[in-house]
């Protein structure tokens, strides 16, 4: 969508389809360049927690009690992102990056 800037660390209300419903998601990918596919990697927020190592509970005014779940990562076009409702800070993003690293088997290192 022209004129709409979507950034890493933002919380959006997204349409994840029939199985995923409409729910908050966190944009975890960087914005694509103009010559790249307009797709975003997002992590879904859930209110049904299983208390796994991949769930990260984040307190934010736009969110109900629950957690972002690294086992619920989706690739979405910007049209599925309906409305921006907030942004996470660097400390919160670090928690989510750690959960993503665990599920992907990555060893995150400082630059």
Per residue in 68-78, pLDDT (tens digit) is 999 999 999 99
Q: Domain limits of the chain? A: 10-104
pLDDT in tens, 8-21: 999 999 999 887 78
Read off the tokens for 80. 């599925």
Sites in the chain below the pLDDT cut of 50 = 1
**Residues 43 and 101: beta-carbon distance below 8 Å:** no
Is this structure's pTM higher than 0.85? yes
CB 89 within 8 A of CB 97: no
Q: Which residues contact 30 (CB under 8 A, 6 or more apart)?
A: 8
- Give me the percent of the chain exceeding a pLDDT of 90: 81
- How far is the C-alpha of 57 from the C-alpha of 30, rounded, in Å? 22
**Within 13 Å, how many C-alpha atoms sit on residue 26's CB side?**
30
Class of domain 10-104 as given by CATH: mainly beta
């Amino acid at each position: 969508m022209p004129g709409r800037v979507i950034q890493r660390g933002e919380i959006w209300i997204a349409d994840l389809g029939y199985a995923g419903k409409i729910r908050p998601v966190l944009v975890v990918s960087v914005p694509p360049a103009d010559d790249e596919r307009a797709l975003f990697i997002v992590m879904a927020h859930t209110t049904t927690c299983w208390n796994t190592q991949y769930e990260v509970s984040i307190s934010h005014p736009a969110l109900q009690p629950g957690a972002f779940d690294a086992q619920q990562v989706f690739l979405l076009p910007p049209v599925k992102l309906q409305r921006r409702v907030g942004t996470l800070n660097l400390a919160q993003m670090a928690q989510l990056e750690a959960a993503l690293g665990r599920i992907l088997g990555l060893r995150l290192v400082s630059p």
